[in-house]
Amino acid sequence: MTKTLRYLKPYSGTVIAGLVLKLVGSVAELFLPVLLGDIIDKVADNPAYTYDQKVKYSLIMGGLMLLCAAAALLGNIFANRLTVKSSGRMTHDIRYDLFSKTSYLSSRKTDKFGVPSLISRLTSDSYYVNQMVARTLRLGVRAPILILGGLCLAFSQDVMLALVLLACLPVVGVIIFIVTKKSIPVYMGVQQKQDAMVRRMQENVTGVRVIKALSRGEYETERFDELTRDLAATEFRANRIMSLSNPLATLVLNLGLVALIIVGAAAGDTPGTVLEFLQFFVIILNAMIALSKIFVVISRGSASAARIEEVLSEDVGENIVPCRESADGAIEFRNVSFSYNGVGNNVKNVTFSLGKGQTLGIIGSTGSGKSTLINLLMRFYDADEGEIFVDGRNVKSYPAAELRRKFGAVFQNDFLMAASVKDNVDYGRGLSKEAIDRAVDCAQAREFVDGLEGGLSYNLAQKANNLSGGQKQRILIARALAGDPPILILDDSSSALDYATDAAFRKALAAEYPSATKVIVAQRISSIKNADLILVMEDGEVIGAGRHEELLNACGEYRLICSAQMGV
Amino acid sequence: MQPRININDKRSPERGKVDRKFALGNLFRYLKPYVPVLALIFLANVSGTVSNLVGPWLCGLAIDKISPGGGTDFRAIGYYAALLVALYIVSALLEYLSAVGMAYVSRGTVRKMRRDVFAHLTTLPVSYFDARQTGDIISVMSYDIDTVGESLANDVIIVLKSVVMIVGSLVMMLVIAAPLVLVFAVTVPLSVLMTKLIVSRVQPLFRKRSKKLGELNGFVEEMITGQKTTRAYNCEEKFIADFEVKNEEAIEAYSRAEYFGTISGPCVNFVNNLSLTFVSVCGALLYMHPMWGITMTAGQISSFVLYSRKFSGPINEIANILGEFQSAIAAAERVFRIMDEPPEPVDGEGAVPLGDVRGDVEIKNLNFGYEAGKPVLKDFSLSVESGKVIAIVGHTGAGKTTIINLLMRFYDPAGGSIEIDGKDVEELTRTSVRRAFTMVLQDTWLFAGTVYENIAYGNMNATREDVERVCKAAKIHSFISRLPKGYDTELSDNAVNISKGQKQLLTIARAMLLDSPMLILDEATSNVDTRTEQIIQEAMKNLMKGRTCFVIAHRLSTVKNADKILVMRDGDIVEQGTHESLMAAGGYYSELYYSQFESA
């Protein structure tokens, strides 16, 4: 947590000013009961004063109480403002660093955390840390001040009565602690059962056609009913436990109150003192309850802080290895092997080379290592063995930005953002209108883009849900083409296009971007049939390499795929 | 103390009133069985609060027995002390019991609501689910119903307690020193006014805060998901800059909302302190010099001060809770609106179940559109003989899947008719029509359960042997046998590594177990690679034997052997015939077919 708290450092002035104001406000509040007791004991009951003097001093005391109340009001308001400011800025800084760090994490490290986990660290975890800091600064300081200050004042007034007060606190503390501790596992159970319920709902909604087709509605209702019964029972258990804390804590303090009266009477205290102590009791009780709530916030917040720090402490430095060896052509793989998790190779001993402007086709079943070749080529991962050359230089010798500038790529299930079509094609590169138009035309996207409201400025929904699969792919292809890249990578990027559109695209690509070296991963033979080199992959190995005609003769697997798809 | 945010629908106040009445009326129906329990809770609550209220009064009496100079009446103090202890114990007990009672009521209500909503959902037509986001429906089931339950369990009890507390302490204060109560004539309206003012200012700010945070989170989710692409195009910096804009906006909105939000706590405290000051000064004056025939002892001042605390606290609490009530009622409205959705039309009078199906299907002049004015099928006719294979090909959006929606009676046509074995489906029960078909869809549907349960889902009488038999036929048996627990392996949460193709084989096995006379295959192999597709095709051949089949496919190679191929374009059949005849005709089909061989 220390690393997270260090983010408060630039705002330490604000934090300290806030704490001082908070202190002033809280102390002012504490003086109210003292003054109340004094009105009775030192003024109203003081035989030394005349009646007029008594009235006068009562009013003065009242005025002082008003001043204290006003000080408490202003102190707290301004203190809160300062804490909001410092916690807000701190959260901003943490989020900024976290997002930047995440953006530059290597693929291996991204895999280690997992995308959903990285997202939740940026969203909910940063929110919980914010809550923790804001709440702690706002209430976590006030509560201890009230408790400690209240106790100090109490001891200065009357030691015996203060001891009674002091004796009650640990009891209340223990009660709150035990109840909270008991309830946490029960609440976790509630959470799990709730998740199970949501999952079942999700299943049912997505499977509504199947369920209706099989008339399983009643059966599903029964199954769901079991879940809700279970959930309700667990929730009731949690409620029963949590319902204990309030009555119990109040009871202890009320009993303390009775003890106070008895002790006060026995010790010969004045009624004013007893009255004053009753007020201390109320203040301290409220502070205790506030404190118990803060503990929950802190425990959750510190867990989140740890998760954030885990990412922040990752190293993202570039690993550039100078390399003297060189190669000819656009792309060359030499005995490349690679494994994502160190168990079993995902790519084994791959060797091939491709000249500038040539086309490479890769075909093979799912999981055969096609996309892995792309990942290695663009150096999202480093090969475990062997070398990869792009434009004659080892990929490890390039700065990442320089290497990737050579590529225009469409990945499998690639990503479109909720922005305009133009922004998605441009993708933050500031390309010229001509370049974008040319790419859109070539990708066969022109016809449907013109049909959209606003054309290129049409806004896509989240995950581009307002486009069909084929439309999405065409925009992605346009993105890859728009930068006029020396190397074009299309990983299963035309699977949703019908054959006619796919063919038209390939024709346009050859005519419009003839100098680009093309790497095409596909399921369809027709997409790669005319490539200069076709690699047939199986279980990470190249089991056939050559041109279409050569493979038809030499590679059984390739022939099989062909006959299945085309009946040739 | 943070003001709650209510998400109110934008509707006319008139409509809102009706909805509110509707929601409250329905809610009351759910609470009705609990009326006796609620009465008991109320009783416990009132007596608990009353005994709590008597406390300060007894304290006052005890304090008055204290005289520091000597002559303190210890017997009387002891008596009062014993009374107080008994009182506080009883009150704590009653408080606990009423809280538990209320939890019991709310949990029971929530559970019943969930069951009813779910049961109702199973009767709704498919169009209901097609038109809505899954997340919306789920959020009603989990979040909205929860909100109603929480409100029942907590808010009701707090309001109840607060009202008793306010009335009770008011009465006690009036008894002790009626004129002193006038102090509250100033402070109570002040605090209510202040709370209202702050809430009205703060609410839009909080709404904006949630919106901005939502935008930020949405952006993060999007960009992290697309991280690889961003890296490929070297635009990390650009998106960090975009993020920074959203980040700054979110923090700005957060700070503004919190600036105002955190004012309310100190303000409420201030008003309470104000009344404490007034009470103290006025009390002291009365203590020294009785006025209007009222004398005040120190004990009375103490009781009065304690009551004043009990009085002003709950008033603020109620003000806060009213906001929560609003959102609970809005949530209840959403829940009951689902229950108000019209279910699938019931079978017509005299509808008979379809028995002993041969599998002849006759579609006559069918017209249909999902939205008015946008026809998807126009005057569509088709006649299929038992045991034949009909393939439907064409672009996305040409209306292929719609035919299946109508065959399965997920939707009803706007005009025309469908006949099975010469019987109009409108005169048959929905269930029996659906049972006559088996579907294998592109999106495989498996649920969290064992492999066995998933396969036997449509036919719960199936024995283990039956299931194994169909799995062998579907060429998935050996895969299942290799799973850690074989057929008892749980399919959930990616615990088992199972590919798309294997999932599809499981649903084929499920379909085989049904043994229906007609079969629908909707793009069943479009997402798998060629090798897996071959295995699936093999399995499918077993499944199709002797059944009337409707096959929708992307890849033309899969439909070549069909008895009849329908080529659809914009809701119309533009060509039909066998593969050979269509190729010979040289029309749209052959164009589609040849385009897969075309090269650059």
Nearest Cα of chain B lies from the Cα of A246 at a distance, in angstroms, of 8
Report pLDDT digits (tens) over A112-134: 888 878 888 888 888 889 888 98
What is the domain partition of chain A in residue ranges? 2-312, 331-566
Nearest Cα of chain B lies from the Cα of A105 at a distance, in angstroms, of 9
Task: Count CA atoms within 13 Å of residue B27 on its CB side.
Answer: 22
What is the overall mean pLDDT for chain B? 81
For residue B574, the surrounding DSSP H or E stretch is: strand B572-577
Nearest Cα of chain B lies from the Cα of A266 at a distance, in angstroms, of 8
Q: Are the C-beta atoms of residues A6 and A313 closer than 8 Å to each other? A: no
Q: Is the pLDDT of residue B346 over 70?
A: yes
Answer whether B530 sits within 8 Å of A216, measured CB to CB.
no
How far apart (Å, rounded) are the C-alpha atoms in residues B29 and B346? 26
List of chain B residues whose C-beta atoms are within 8 Å of the C-beta of residue A85 = 255
Report pLDDT digits (tens) over B534-553: 777 777 787 788 889 898 87
Answer whether B96 sits within 8 Å of A77, measured CB to CB.
no
Nearest Cα of chain B lies from the Cα of A298 at a distance, in angstroms, of 18
Phi–psi pair at B125, nearest 5 degrees: -70, 160
Average pLDDT over residues B235-240: 87
What is the domain partition of chain B in residue ranges? 21-340, 361-599
How far apart (Å, rounded) are the C-alpha atoms in residues A145 and A160? 22
For an interface test with A, which of B228, B507, B515 has the most A Cβ atoms less than 10 Å from its Cβ?
A: B228
Answer whether B267 sits within 8 Å of A73, measured CB to CB.
yes
User: Could you count the other beta carbons within 10 Å of the beta carbon of residue A214?
Assistant: 22
Weakest mean pLDDT among A491-500, A540-549, B467-476: A491-500
Answer whether A366 sits within 8 Å of B529, measured CB to CB.
yes
In one-letter notation, the amino acid at residue B106 is S
Nearest Cα of chain B lies from the Cα of A385 at a distance, in angstroms, of 23
- pLDDT score recorded for residue B4: 32
Q: Are the C-beta atoms of residues B94 and B313 closer than 8 Å to each other? A: no
- pLDDT score recorded for residue A374: 92
Nearest Cα of chain A lies from the Cα of B210 at a distance, in angstroms, of 12
Report pLDDT digits (tens) over A372-391: 999 999 998 889 999 999 99
Q: Is the pLDDT of residue B319 over 70?
A: no
| The two structure tokens encoding residue B293 | 């025939």
3-state secondary structure of A212: helix
Answer whether B266 sits within 8 Å of A212, measured CB to CB.
no
Answer whether A462 sits within 8 Å of B501, measured CB to CB.
no
> A434 CB contacts (<8 Å, ≥6 apart)?
none
ipTM over 0.90: no
> Any idea which architecture A331-566 has in CATH?
3-Layer(aba) Sandwich (3.40)
CATH of domain B361-599: 3.40.50.300
Q: A2-312 sits in which CATH class?
A: mainly alpha
List of chain A residues whose C-beta atoms are within 8 Å of the C-beta of residue B443 = 206
Q: Are the C-beta atoms of residues B307 and B56 closer than 8 Å to each other? A: yes
List of chain A residues whose C-beta atoms are within 8 Å of the C-beta of residue B64 = 271
A88 → closest Cβ in B251, B301, B514: B251
- pLDDT score recorded for residue B492: 67
List of chain B residues whose C-beta atoms are within 8 Å of the C-beta of residue A102 = 224, 227
How far apart (Å, rounded) are the C-alpha atoms in residues B533 and A103? 38
**Cα B163 off chain centre by:** 33
Nearest Cα of chain A lies from the Cα of B1 at a distance, in angstroms, of 11
Answer whether A261 sits within 8 Å of B597, measured CB to CB.
no
Q: Are the C-beta atoms of residues B490 and B449 closer than 8 Å to each other? A: yes
Average pLDDT over residues A40-63: 78
User: Could you count the other beta carbons within 10 Å of the beta carbon of residue A81?
Assistant: 19
B235 → closest Cβ in A62, A264, A427: A427
Locate the chain B residue with the closest alpha carbon to A528.
Answer: B599
- B576 torsion bin: left (phi>0), alpha (psi -120 to 50), beta (else): beta
Locate the chain A residue with the closest alpha carbon to B123.
Answer: A217
Nearest Cα of chain B lies from the Cα of A351 at a distance, in angstroms, of 23
List of chain A residues whose C-beta atoms are within 8 Å of the C-beta of residue B431 = 215
Q: Is the pLDDT of residue B329 over 80?
A: yes
Q: Which residue has the tokens 């635009």?
A: B235
Answer whether B592 sits within 8 Å of A415, measured CB to CB.
no
| pTM for the structure as a whole | 0.72
Q: Are the C-beta atoms of residues B94 and B51 closer than 8 Å to each other? A: yes
Average pLDDT over residues B229-257: 89
Task: Count CA atoms within 13 Å of residue A6 on its CB side.
Answer: 6
For an interface test with B, which of A103, A426, A549 has the most B Cβ atoms less than 10 Å from its Cβ?
A: A103
Nearest Cα of chain A lies from the Cα of B490 at a distance, in angstroms, of 14
Beta bridge partners of B568: B394, B573
For an interface test with B, which of A122, A230, A318, A505 has the most B Cβ atoms less than 10 Å from its Cβ?
A: A122
Confidence of residue B494 (pLDDT cuts 50, 70, 90): very low
Locate the chain B residue with the closest alpha carbon to A512.
Answer: B600
| The two structure tokens encoding residue B579 | 């593969």
How far apart (Å, rounded) are the C-alpha atoms in residues B46 and B52? 10
For CA atoms B188, B190, B195, B197, the dihedral sign is positive
For an interface test with B, which of A251, A314, A459 has the most B Cβ atoms less than 10 Å from its Cβ?
A: A251
Q: Which residue has the tokens 């008597």?
A: B54
Answer whether A250 sits within 8 Å of B225, measured CB to CB.
no
Look at the domain B21-340 and name its fold: ABC transporter transmembrane region fold (1.20.1560)
- pLDDT score recorded for residue B2: 33
Q: Which of B250, B200, B191, B162 is nearest to B4 (CA)?
A: B200
More confident residue, B496 or A496: A496
Q: Are the C-beta atoms of residues A475 and A467 closer than 8 Å to each other? A: yes
| The two structure tokens encoding residue A359 | 């086309």
Confidence of residue A476 (pLDDT cuts 50, 70, 90): very high
List of chain A residues whose C-beta atoms are within 8 Å of the C-beta of residue B597 = 526, 529, 566
Weakest mean pLDDT among A64-68, A198-202, B396-400: B396-400
